[in-house]
Chains A and B, each alone.
Chain A
Amino acid sequence: MWPTTVMEILFAGGMLSLVVDAFGGASDFVKRYGAAIVGALAILFSLAVLASDWAASLGSIVILQPVSAPFASLYIADKFTTFTAFTALVVGLAVLVYSVLYFDSGRRGPFFALFTILMCSLVGVVSAGDLLTLFLFWEGMTISAYGLVTFGRSQLSLEAGIKYFLMAGIGSLLALYGIAAIYFTSGSIQLSAIGAALGTGFGELGFVVLILGLGVEAAIVPLHTWLPDVYSASSIPSASVISGAVTGVGVFALLKVLQPLVPGGGFGAIVATTGGPSNLQLVIVVLALLTMLVGNLSALVQGNLRRILSFSSIAQTGYMLAALSTLTLAGLVAVVFTIWNHGLLKSNFFMVLGKNSASMESSQLESLRGAGRGNRKLGFLYASSSMAMMGAPPFGMFWSEILVVQSLLIAGHASGVVFYVLAAAVVLNIVLSIGYYFKIINTVVFGEARGETDDRKLGDLLPPASLLAISVLTGIAPFLILGNVL
């Protein structure tokens, strides 16, 4: 099945990129494009393997154990992991192609190697079948992402990278504590068996602490403070892949931990006999509320476009967390579909921002004023990206928001008023978000142009435009993307 094969391809691709970069010889073409081509081929082959296993992965959960030994890694192939891995790879491919155009000087081989290893780690996190495997790939993902954040070696990116590393480090410690508590109470680290830990107070604490630890990467409030700095200070390709893939996989890790508790989630969980939400659910509800409110309210007063996008990502995490709090199959579907839409659109947005907004000063809204007016294609992309993130049709995010609210209303109907309140909060937050997205349109697209025109050609805009087009396809013909997946 695809998990192990894909990871092998990507890992090999990452290593080969380094080799090509180091031993590429005097050829300028190899030095410039060699590592990128290897990385792109690795991702393309991975997508091909995923496609060949697609149908088999959509049935009941397949648990793989490549090596038969105690504590040997387990991997899972089901519709959620398959679709999320697909999301990460599609976003990764678009960002990688964009990176080739972005880096026009300097040594870039290590970047593409790190990028491909990051993809491998993301697939590992997505397909992990036990908590230790999840944790190992989680660390791999964090380290790769750290390398990408600090790649430019500017003062700001190093500072952002350190903040990220420290926060993620504490998160990892908390996650390890949670894993230990769950193992202590359930006797297992396999995802199929950890549900038993919920029967005890210590086990429940373990779940909560694990969610908190993993929540750093997903940028749950109050663990989110690293994200605006990282998004602001990283290079555009790094910010694109972190916002589009890493944050989404971070949320998916939370889904993995909670999936065994969901009736119909594939692990045989049963419906709880008590009517109201459990303590675990209440904690997640509170975190979801905080996350979406802090995300949207903070974004409203930002003057820097990158920081607006970072807080917007935090808000989106809040919506996904709200869907997860329901512990329903509808909630899982909502999260996975939102990861897809958010991944496409957020990556796209950063690529639209482009190199001209590489510094903090140049990504200020006032510096970008009228950028869309001088370059019509760019203006169209800015406007479309903003409308798409708002959840306006015909973009795919429209359906994500419906699915999130639907899962909350289903849960509310079954479990009480808490989820109705959360549904209302999600909807009101979506309305709040219009404030800052329209500010982007008003300033960047409609504002009077100042300074030089952003003269990017169509070729530079093709990677983000392709992600936007996929989002339109998702919105107009969701059955083509979802089909029999979700």
Chain B
Amino acid sequence: MVAALYGALTFGSGATEGYTLWFPALSVTLQVKVDQLSVLVGAFVSFVSFLVVVYSLGYMKEEPGQSRYYSLVLLFVGSMMGLVMAGNLIQFYFFWELVGVCSALLIAFWTDRPAARKAGLKAFVVTRLGDASLLIAVIFVAAVLGTTSFDTILGPSGIATLGTGTIFALGLLMFVGSMGKSAQVPLHGWLPDAMEGPNTVSALIHAATMVNAGVYLMLRMYPVITLPQLSGSLTNIILAIGLLSALVGGACAIAADDLKRVLAYSTISQLGLMFAAIGLGSLTAAAYQMISQGLFKALAFLAAGSVITALGTRSINEMGGLARAMKYTYVGFVVAMLGMCGLPPLVGFWSKDAILSAALGTWAPFSLLLCSFALTALYSFRALFRVFHGQSNTAKTPKESPPTMIIPIVILAASVLVGWAILQPQPLLSTTSWIPDASTLTASLTVLALCAGLAYLVFLPNYRKVLGAVQSSGALSGLQGMLHDGFYFDRLYVWLYSGIVRPISTAVSYIQTGLIEANMGLLLLAAAVLFALFALGVL
């Protein structure tokens, strides 16, 4: 971590170093790419990973399987660094897959819990759907250009030389790959279920690092997706998906009762904002949001982990009134929520302001972004009030977590509070204005204040009345059910598998009758068909 941070702070100019011919059949050389983007993200990944591993010392102390846990976490961190530092697409994809494998195994870490095992499988399957799309794009580039080195393919003699339709298809395939890893609608359903894994896994992988890999890919391929010949067709799609995910994630977060699922849906929403920034043409805003969301979300998860460990439950209906008993955790959570809501001058404010500024002059994206900010404020303050304020709904006597868990929370809180002072001067982010635009500042602060006030009224003194009103109204309880069920996307996936794939599999398996007569009949039939096709001149 120290080396990475030192490298980030003293970074001069970029370079790509090639080492050995790694895969001769594809002419792939092992390459390390050091530039503004890789150094910044690499330093961030190592910073958060270090804190999470320290936190794990306390959090995982009593858990069996520690050697498996730490080996998988370290393999993950190494793979993530390999992904970030990769100098070509194939190397990138190698580590991209490895990151997914580690994630699935860590989600299913508590192997005696069926829900955890199922969540691990779901994560692997859904992300692999996206990976399949990326694989085709990567190999197509290798096949057509003869190289996947970023220096070449992003330059004037690379992908830009291909036809417009081909560039669009490649970009779209890569974006679908990003959607899977970064949990964007409709490939987002794995992330809330991934909360079955240990909290440290959620903080590290599903908040701060792996889920950012998709955004990182889009940032890396930014010169391609913004090529003039595409006329914005691809970035419009990215913008639309980003905004949709931001709104879907935010809406579902308001209805979730599991604290970790609130944060998971929040992550989907915040990642949507990153893609929206890319769609709006602001690489800086997207990169800034990637770092800031990683910081405040990791902080939120670590604080949530502290609460969950103390109370033994993830349901916010069984929490409440913890502010006094768990002061450090409370402060950490408050900082995380305020950072997420974009309160100045916390780190989240600058990134959100940059995104909103990129949408200035557009009506629909600007309005939808504000709606997303509103949802963010609502679910953030809901979580804050329901967990730490109001009456206690638990019989347990909560105690503050040990220092190994608190120290990382404190450090992350400090980074959310003052991290902007270090981040903003970084070369990649330095175009972010120190003086926010008056209209964006007014709009975002107004939304924040209104929604914070609304959340206070709804979720604190009048919560029971509001809950009663919702449950007695058919429309509202239906809406609540739909949000709770994630807009029924999961039911669609289940239907696709059990309604289409499984019946076809069962039908196909009937070919295997086990009867020798049937086996030989099938063989002779195949031969007869082929002979007939040739005799008739079809072949």
Question: Of the 9-residue stretches B213-221, B251-259, B509-517, which lies at the interface with chain A?
Answer: B509-517
Which segment of B336-344, B418-426, B526-534 sits at the interface?
B526-534
Let me know if A409 and B129 touch, CB within 8 A. Answer: no
Quick check: is B24 within 8 A (CB to CB) of the other chain?
yes
Using Cβ atoms and an 8 Å threshold, which residues of chain B touch A423?
136, 139
CB pair B132 A430 closer than 8 Å: yes
A223-B523, A446-B111, A478-B24 as given contacts; A392 in contact with B508, CB under 8 Å: no
Give how many A residues have a beta carbon under 8 Å from the other chain's beta carbons: 70
Q: Which residue of B lies closest to A223 (CB)?
A: B523
- Residues in A whose Cβ lies below 8 Å from that of B132: 427-428, 430-431
Give A383 Cβ to nearest chain B Cβ, in Å: 8
Contact B144 A413 (CB under 8 A): yes
B13 within 8 A of A: no
Q: CB distance A406 to B139 under 8 Å?
A: yes
A170/B524 contact (C-beta < 8 A), A163-B519, A209-B530 known = yes
Given contacts A393-B97, A427-B136, A431-B128, contact A402 B523 (CB under 8 A): no
List B contacts of A59 (CB < 8 A): none
**Stretch from B198-206, B294-302, B393-401, B499-507 forming part of the interface with A:** B499-507
CB distance A435 to B125 under 8 Å?
yes
Per the bound structure, the CA–CA distance linking A164 and B90 in Å amounts to: 41
Contact of B411 with A by CB under 8 A: no
Of residues 353 through 400 on chain A, the ones whose CB sits less than 8 Å from some CB of chain B are 373, 383, 387, 392-394, 398-399
Q: List A residues 420-453 near B (Cβ within 8 Å).
A: 423-424, 427-428, 430-432, 434-435, 438, 442, 445-446, 448
B143: which A residues are within 8 A, CB to CB?
Answer: 406, 409-410, 413
Tell me which of B100, B117, B516, B539 contacts A163 (CB under 8 A): B516
A229 to chain B, nearest CB (A): 7
Q: Check B539 against A204 for contact (C-beta < 8 Å).
A: yes
A222 contacts B by Cβ under 8 Å: yes
Asked if A479 meets B22 with Cβ closer than 8 Å, knowing A297-B509, A431-B125, the reply is: yes
Task: Tell me the dominant secondary structure on chain B's binding face.
Answer: helix
* Residues 118-177 of B contacting A (Cβ, < 8 Å): 121, 124-125, 128-129, 132, 135-136, 139-140, 142-144
A409 CA to B166 CA in the complex, in Å?
A: 13
Given A298-B505, A486-B25, check contact A205 B522 (CB 8 Å). no
B360 at the interface (CB under 8 A from A): no
Whether the pair A403, B25 counts as a contact (CB closer than 8 A) is yes
Within 8 A of A (CB), among B90-126: 90, 94-95, 97-98, 100-101, 105, 108, 111-112, 117, 121, 124-125
Interface set, chain A 195-240, CB cutoff 8 A to B:
201, 204-205, 208-209, 212, 216, 221-223, 225-226, 228-229
Does A222 lie within 8 Å of B128, measured CB to CB? no
Docked-complex contact B124 and A478, CB < 8 angstroms: no
A170 touching B523 by the CB < 8 A rule? yes
Tell me which residues from 269 to 286 in chain A have a Cβ below 8 Å from any Cβ of chain B.
Answer: 279, 282-283
B: number of interface residues (CB 8 Å): 57
CB-based contact A392/B511 at 8 Å: no
B536 → chain A, closest Cβ, in Å?
11
* A222-B523, A402-B135, A431-B132 known; A482 vs B97 contact (CB < 8 Å): no
Pick the contact of A162: B101, B124, B516 (CB < 8 A): B516
A51 CB within 8 Å of chain B: no
Report yes or no: A482 in contact with B525, Cβ–Cβ below 8 A: no
Are B97 and A297 touching (Cβ within 8 A)?
no
> A424–B108 Cα gap in the complex (Å)?
29
| Chain A nearest Cβ from B197, distance in angstroms | 13
Tell yes or no: A294 within 8 A of B by CB: yes
Given B97, B108, B125, B136, which contacts A446 in the complex, CB threshold below 8 Å? B108
CB distance from B459 to the nearest CB of A (A): 38
A442 touches B121 (CB 8 A): yes
Tell me if B24 and A208 are in contact (CB < 8 A).
no
Q: Is the CB of A393 within 8 A of B108?
A: no
Chain B residues, CB < 8 A from A69: none
Q: Given A283-B530, A393-B94 in contact, is the A446-B117 Cβ separation under 8 Å?
A: yes
Q: A212-B530, A392-B100, A428-B132 are in contact. List 20 more A-B contacts (CB 8 A).
A: A162-B516, A216-B523, A222-B523, A223-B522, A225-B518, A225-B519, A225-B523, A387-B101, A392-B97, A402-B26, A402-B139, A406-B26, A409-B144, A424-B136, A431-B125, A434-B121, A445-B111, A448-B112, A478-B22, A483-B24
Can you list 28 pairs linking A and B with CB atoms under 8 Å apart? Answer: A162-B516, A205-B534, A209-B531, A216-B523, A223-B522, A223-B523, A229-B514, A293-B508, A294-B511, A301-B506, A301-B509, A373-B111, A393-B101, A394-B98, A401-B135, A405-B135, A409-B139, A409-B140, A413-B143, A413-B144, A427-B136, A434-B121, A435-B125, A442-B121, A446-B111, A479-B21, A482-B25, A486-B25
- A residues bordering B, Cβ < 8 Å? 162-163, 166-167, 170-171, 174, 201, 204-205, 208-209, 212, 216, 221-223, 225-226, 228-229, 279, 282-283, 293-294, 297-298, 300-302, 333, 337, 373, 383, 387, 392-394, 398-399, 401-403, 405-406, 409-410, 413, 423-424, 427-428, 430-432, 434-435, 438, 442, 445-446, 448, 477-479, 482-484, 486
Listed in ascending order, the chain B residues whose CB lies under 8 Å from chain A are 20-26, 90, 94-95, 97-98, 100-101, 105, 108, 111-112, 117, 121, 124-125, 128-129, 132, 135-136, 139-140, 142-144, 501-502, 504-506, 508-509, 511-514, 516, 518-520, 522-527, 530-531, 534, 539
The 7 A-B residue pairs whose C-beta atoms are closest, nearest first, are A446-B111, A225-B519, A297-B505, A297-B508, A300-B505, A409-B143, A427-B132
